[in-house]
Amino acid sequence: MSKGTGHWVAGINAVAAALAHDAAHVREVLVEAGAKNPRLAEIERAARDAGIAVRKVNVQVLEGAAGGVRHQGVVARYEAARTWDEGELLELIEAAAGRALLLVLDGVQDPHNLGACLRSAAAAGVTAVVIPKDRSAPVNATVRKTSAGAADRLPVVRVTNLARTLRAIRDLGVWAYGLAGEAQGSLYSLDLTGNVALVLGGEGEGLRRLTREHCDGLARIPMPGDMESLNVSVAAGVALFEAVRQRTGAC
């Protein structure tokens, strides 16, 4: 596991999640002076219990640290975002004992979309989310806030070469299925009960050619309405919860 660069995490859910799941990397918490929100008091207590410095500041200081993100009266200076490497991804797959569920995002560059994808992935109990280093939004304060804390408790693996990573996971017995609107087969015809990676493209461009070539197959989400595509975070949620449905035997 490696470290990223320092940044500010803003918002009640994002700061609470950082304290609950990765307090070792929180360096200080800034709370709005005079605020009466009981959740802010809970965050302050949690920070002090963890030995983290807490400062009462005015709204202008919070707004400057939050950088335009809605702060809700609290921000935290986060020393490093946790990231996972490809070797750890392979260990996670092996530990899943034939039930690994991966979400692979090929170039999701809007931090709100990435955060929403992480939130759905955490809710679906995925093994890990895989993103490329050079064609993805960083896991920053906006992503953490949008993910409602999922970014702090879900393995997010940043890889240099997505095609190489797809080859590696397929060698471990993971079936990689890409979602593409022009595909002939339906998502609902796939067997998603074993080791599976669901691969989605980014905004606008969709799956890149090389990514498509390293998938075992392509499928589409049937849309009887008059729309050509779904937002990537919505598509991720649909695909992930089809996998959940199959794995849990729900109707």
Which of 247, 238, 239 has the alpha carbon at shortest distance from 194?
247
- Angle, CA 244 vertex, CA 239 and CA 246 arms, to 5°: 95
**201 annotated as belonging to a binding site for a ligand:** yes
**230 annotated as belonging to a binding site for a ligand:** yes
Give the integer Cα–Cα distance in Å for 106 and 18: 26
Token pair belonging to 10? 């803003």
Give the integer Cα–Cα distance in Å for 100 and 92: 8
Place of tokens 């070539």: 213
Binding residues for S-adenosyl-L-methionine: 201, 221, 230
Binding residues: 201, 221, 230
